[in-house]
Structure 1
Amino acid sequence: MSDGGPRRPEPPPAKVRKWRRLLADEREAARAYRVLADRRSGAEREILLGLADAEERHVAHWEGLLGAEAGRPRRGSPRTRLMTFLARHFGWVFVLALMQQAENRPLYDSDDDAPAAMAADERIHGEVVRGLAARGRARMSGTLRAAVFGANDGLVSNIALVIGVIGGGANPQAVLLTGLSGLLAGALSMGAGEYISVTSQRELLAASAPDDLAASSVPELDVDANELALVYRARGMAAEDADRRAGEVLRSRAPAPAAREPDRGTDVVGTAMGAATSSFLFFAAGAVIPVLPYLFGMQGAAAVVVAGVLTGAALLVTGAVVGVLSGAPPLRRALRQFAIGAAAAAATYVLGLLFGSTIG
């Protein structure tokens, strides 16, 4: 007997497989957000839990379409499982940068089985994750910038230096001495440069900060003849807004805290010693890779090949990390960094050949 209700047609097997895959991925995404939320507190935790709840809505959609065909829970794609693994074991900013790329994919834009609201959800999730990642980058940007660029500079400069003296016909001992000298000189230079750069930037920000004594003088101003509005205009307010704000402050006869701009830079700049130390250590870590074969006594073509392979792999990794943290495609950034290092090494090798043959 029929129950009188319309019977839904059975979906084709290919569509069932696709729905099951999407269901598993949405479950894994919700799990990754909850794992990240467990590692945070306050507003960031609430935001991540909200994203996990939104992914659960998507889970419910695919479960509704599949009905009994949903079966037992399946594992998500390797990409989504990787997100969960990284959320458990790696840094907050790194994982969010990967999640930002995942959310920015047009997953449901051309999927007739997904409502328009789900596609819109994914785009909004991308912006939420972008904002969270930006907050994390801002907190660590000074030290992170010094670390990443220090490692890259160490790799590129020292492989170019080592390959250059090899092209000039230097013996293994000379290559090792040159590489270690380049490591130490470059690391000291990078550390000192970062310290001076960050210190100077902080001093510049401090010099731009309003004077507290001037703010405390506001109650003593002549109401009919004063330059308070000019202070606000000098700091970027439109003339009408500056006049209105100055009038409000003068009517209150209180110090003018609004004359002080919010500190937009000190958190982003980071500490001078932290940036210098990070830059020194990561430059040294990058610069030691090209000389590792010579430290272990290798010579000849074998040492050159091993140094090139190790340096190339390290350049690919650091380039990919830069790409992930900046929200750019990691493969493209990895290949770009590799190409830069290879070009620098090739150029110095040719120079070494030319000068070596001239001196010889």
Structure 2
Amino acid sequence: MADPSLQPDRPPSDRAPSGGATRSRADVQRWRRYLADERAEAAVYRNLATRRSGEEREILTALAEAEGRHEQHWRDLLGDDVGRPLAGSLRTRVLAALAKRFGSVFVLALMQRAEDRSPYADDADATATMAADERIHGEVVRGLANRGRMRLSGTFRAAVFGANDGLVSNLALIIGISASGADRHFVLLSGIAGLLAGALSMGAGEYVSVRSQRELLEASAPHPEAQHAVADLDVDVNELALVYRARGMSEDEAAAHADEVIASLLVAPTTGGVPVVRSRSALPRPGVTEDGDDHEAIGTGTSAALSSFCFFASGAVIPVLPYLFGLEGWPAIGLAAALVGLALLGTGAVVGVLSGASPLRRALRQLGIGFGAAAVTYLLGLLFGTSTG
């Protein structure tokens, strides 16, 4: 039998979709849009699955199959009115293309918002199960997106906030100095000085922060010699329990865990009656988690410093560009503000996408904060220029 989705369009029939109600042309059009969106969303999940492995691939494949069940529901309702396949919404088609090409956490974050906005809860022709599925799909995608956020959180935080600091601080500096009546060369030198001072400050601060975290981890790690002492502990007294209590366990939990460790260290006595000690680590290591070494997760101070320097400088150079190319006065201020405004909208939108919030709202918030700071320094520059003029 031919695929009904390939049949030509035809006027809607009078077959009742459910409960004997007569379908209308608007009903058929709405159902066909739902059908197209379900197909497109399934394609997004399949494309994402091809770029994942293991458990994440299985989860995304299961989501695609669930969208297929929803697709079948609308096919059953439409019957002979399925018609030619419609294209999904522009948003969903763009997501499918991005998922196929990149498969990034940004796509997952956008899909999270799409699932959260499902209209099925308010549509009588969608089942309660479908509405519940869409809500749960949103939570599943939220969990997958959170995994991606955790993987890039450190680098992403440094990139976005470093660039944002450079944009706002140097724009405010340049506009404030321009408002005081300084000439172009002085404004340009001030902008370059602000770029270097801010970038060096950010780099130095990040270096100290990362080094301090690594030193704290090293100070919390067990002394190497303490591991060798475990085998000689008095089994009856078992002071190893004190170590676990000091690390946060309750008295009963610490005693039970210490007994387990001591028992695992010993095997059956040899012919001489002397127990043989297994070689294994018995003391907790705060520097190591289930996900790996915390030192690796934190990174090195040098790499963190270089990253922060570059990210801040990449933002701080933007308001300097008009003066670098010879503009001055209001044209330079206007162009600098426009360039920084576009960059702030971009960073705000990216933060909004990754956080699952409205990109537009976050972008406008970022823009308002940046321009607010610049406006304050402009007024202060005017005041300073007037008082010294």
Distance in 2, matches of 1:271 and 1:37, equals 33
Distance in 2, matches of 1:110 and 1:7, equals 18
Which of the residues 349, 354, 360 maps onto 2:383? 354
Deviation for aligned residue 1:257: 4.2
Deviation larger for 259-268 or 221-230 = 259-268
Deviation for aligned residue 1:133: 1.7
Question: Normalised by the size of structure 2, how large is the TM-score?
Answer: 0.84
Deviation larger for 123-132 or 286-295 = 123-132
> Is 1:278 matched up with 2:307?
yes
Q: Residues 317-339 of structure 1, C-alpha deviation per residue, up to 9 Å, x if partnerless?
A: 11111111222222221111111
> Is 1:328 matched up with 2:357?
yes
Distance in 2, matches of 1:16 and 1:60, equals 15
Tell me the percent identity.
63
Distance in 1, matches of 2:134 and 2:19, equals 32
Distance in 1, matches of 2:170 and 2:139, equals 39
Residue of structure 1 equivalent to 2:48: 36
Deviation for aligned residue 1:161: 0.3
Q: 1:329 to 1:203 in 2, by over 3 A?
A: farther
Residue of structure 2 equivalent to 1:208: 220
Deviation for aligned residue 1:269: 2.9
Residue of structure 2 equivalent to 1:227: 239
Residue of structure 2 equivalent to 1:18: 30
Distance in 2, matches of 1:317 and 1:198, equals 28
Gaps of 5+ in 2: 1-17, 267-279
Partner SS for 2:120: coil
- Higher normalized contact order (CA 8 Å, seq sep 6+, divided by chain length): 1
Greater C-alpha radius of gyration: 2
Distance in 2, matches of 1:242 and 1:11, equals 68
Distance in 1, matches of 2:246 and 2:305, equals 34
Specify the code of the residue in structure 1 equivalent to 2:45: Y
Matches within 5 A, 1:16-95: 16-90=28-102, 92-95=104-107
Distance in 1, matches of 2:323 and 2:102, equals 33
Specify the code of the residue in structure 1 equivalent to 2:321: L
Question: Normalised by the size of structure 1, how large is the TM-score?
Answer: 0.91
Partner SS for 1:79: helix
Distance in 1, matches of 2:308 and 2:200, equals 9
Partner SS for 1:75: coil
Which of the residues 306, 311, 314 maps onto 2:335? 306
Deviation for aligned residue 1:267: 5.6
Residue of structure 2 equivalent to 1:3: none
Contact kept? 2:48, 2:103, Cα under 8 Å? no
Deviation for aligned residue 1:103: 2.1
Q: Residues 293-313 of structure 1, C-alpha deviation per residue, up to 9 Å, x if partnerless?
A: 112222222221111111111
CA RMSD of the aligned region, Å? Answer: 2.2
Partner SS for 2:248: coil
Contact kept? 1:215, 1:259, Cα under 8 Å? no
Deviation larger for 6-15 or 118-127 = 6-15
Distance in 2, matches of 1:115 and 1:357, equals 69
Specify the code of the residue in structure 1 equivalent to 2:349: A
Deviation for aligned residue 1:43: 2.3
Which of the residues 238, 257, 262 maps onto 2:250? 238
Q: 1:10 to 1:270 in 2, by over 3 A?
A: farther
Distance in 2, matches of 1:325 and 1:268, equals 20
Residue of structure 1 equivalent to 2:137: 125
Q: 1:25 to 1:106 in 2, by over 3 A?
A: closer
> Is 1:343 matched up with 2:372?
yes
Contact kept? 1:146, 1:276, Cα under 8 Å? no
Q: 1:169 to 1:249 in 2, by over 3 A?
A: same
